[in-house]
Amino acid sequence: MEKIISLILIVIMLFGLVGCNKNDKESVASIDFFETTSSIDNNTVTSSNLPKTTSTSNATSKKSSTSKKSSTSNKASTSKNIVTSQNSSIKSNKTSTVNTSSYNKPKIIPFSTSKKNIDLVKTTGRVTFESGYGLSMLWTGSTIELNATCQGDINICLSCKKGSESRLKIYVDGALFNEEITTLTETTSLTVATELEYGVHNLRLVRSDDCEKGRISLTSIEIVGELSDKPADKKLYIKALGGSQITGWGNLLSDTWFENEFDRSVARDRKNQDGTLAYPMVAAELLDADISVLGRQGAGVALTWHESENKGILEKLYSKTAPNINTPYTQTREADIIIIDDGEIDINPSLYAKTGLKFSDITQKVTSFLTKLRSDHPNAKIIWCYGIDHDCQRRLLPEGKGGVALSSEEAITKILSQMGGELNGFFTLKMNYNSIRQGYPSVEEHKAAGALLAEKINEIINR
């Protein structure tokens, strides 16, 4: 009898254990972190209004650390409608400590068809939501950053204008994907991290070229996990406005090339540009600051090489989302520091002859722009940087009929003095000019200028 009772108790215990495990599994499987739409599934973006892509993919051998690149082989793919790549994806050296069913199934988080997840994404610079594209980085230094509690792989889908050769830098937990700039020629899927340990991981995308080739958009990400808290704003916020100097045009070319092979069209090729190493972004990095860059080659405060003022005068660009997007831009954060880099274009004799402007006209245009900046950012310190792209002491600017010609240094100093100078928060910073490079500073010169600017900012904010 005792044996029968014991057998009955054992059977009851076994059924109880099976029932707990079943309930646990059902509870875990019922968790759904993200909204999906009819246009998104767990494999690919299929929305009809997304940019069309090709059907090639890259398979990659895994690597043991983030510092070495892995070899890639190409294979045809018919299952996905996107270009895929896993080149040198960042890989964890640790084993995941969480392996539940809810963290084994990848989920696509869309940004092109829904604004649901955007509140958890930090954007710096002029980044805008565009239906069918996603979160679009429109200017040099435009940044998208997010945190995710996840494990395993991180895949991202990026879109751009086909054939544009748009360029950006991708960071996972601070490590640069592929250890170099990523170039896009079409909508592309990238595996940017593999075998990550379970925990909170940071993804940051930074545009390194300029606005000339249009948008670079984050369409979606695929992770095993969920988005975490939005990354916090940094204490100091900088805005930088100007021409090609603040976008880094030609900074990757050597001095020898300028001496022997100078060709302006080559100097303006985006392959020879890294805006993240232009001096405003160098200063922001040194100061641990957020930065928004609004720069375009040929742009000036009063004059421009562009045919239309709407596409080349800084005050006009400042009020728009992008040169080719006329939607008004709304300032969402007040700047602590505003950097203006200009001078060479605004004293160019051929542009003066073309426009017929006088010094009084220049003064009026500059004063109007500075007044607008002061209105939008009443507490900001405004620093006019000059001299990095031209000889700022050459007297080219006619002050008026019968007047003495002014250099850009004299003109800038005079106008800022009329605005109240340092007592009203207007400062100047002279930088070094290398005549060999024809107005295209090198990376090293940008680094030196960035350090000089960071020192100036520290001096101003600590007064």
Total-model pTM: 0.77
Asked, for residue 129, whether it belongs to a domain, the answer is: yes
Do residues 218 and 309 both lie within one domain? no
Q: What is the pLDDT of residue 374?
A: 95
- Its sign, for the CA torsion 220, 68, 180, 53, is negative
Do residues 242 and 117 both lie within one domain? no
Kind of pairing, strands 381-386 and 337-341? Answer: parallel
Do residues 270 and 213 both lie within one domain? no
**Domain range for 137:** 56-227
Asked, for residue 3, whether it belongs to a domain, the answer is: no
Determine the average pLDDT of the residues in 147-174.
93
Lowest mean pLDDT among 55-59, 194-198, 200-204, 326-330: 55-59
Asked, for residue 114, whether it belongs to a domain, the answer is: yes
Q: Which of 201, 227, 253 is the last residue of a domain?
A: 227
Q: Which of 180, 207, 227 is the last residue of a domain?
A: 227
Do residues 196 and 256 both lie within one domain? no
Asked, for residue 22, whether it belongs to a domain, the answer is: no
Do residues 286 and 206 both lie within one domain? no
Q: What is the pLDDT of residue 10?
A: 46
pLDDT digits (tens, 9 = 90+) for 62-116: 333 333 333 333 332 322 334 444 455 666 544 445 555 556 789 999 999 878 8
Do residues 194 and 266 both lie within one domain? no
Determine the average pLDDT of the residues in 307-314.
70
Asked, for residue 33, whether it belongs to a domain, the answer is: no
Confidence of residue 398 (pLDDT cuts 50, 70, 90): low
The position carrying tokens 């695929």 is: 222
Do residues 201 and 285 both lie within one domain? no
Q: What is the pLDDT of residue 206?
A: 97
pLDDT digits (tens, 9 = 90+) for 113-155: 878 889 999 999 989 988 888 999 999 999 999 999 999 999 9
Number of domains in the chain: 2
Q: Which of 195, 227, 259 is the last residue of a domain?
A: 227
Asked, for residue 21, whether it belongs to a domain, the answer is: no
Distance CA 353, CA 95 (A): 68
Determine the average pLDDT of the residues in 431-444.
82
Higher pLDDT: 445 or 436? It is 445
Q: What is the pLDDT of residue 359?
A: 73
Q: What angle do CA 82, 85, 90 make, to 5 degrees?
A: 135
pLDDT exceeds cutoff 60 at 304: yes
CATH code of the domain covering residue 436:
3.40.50.1110
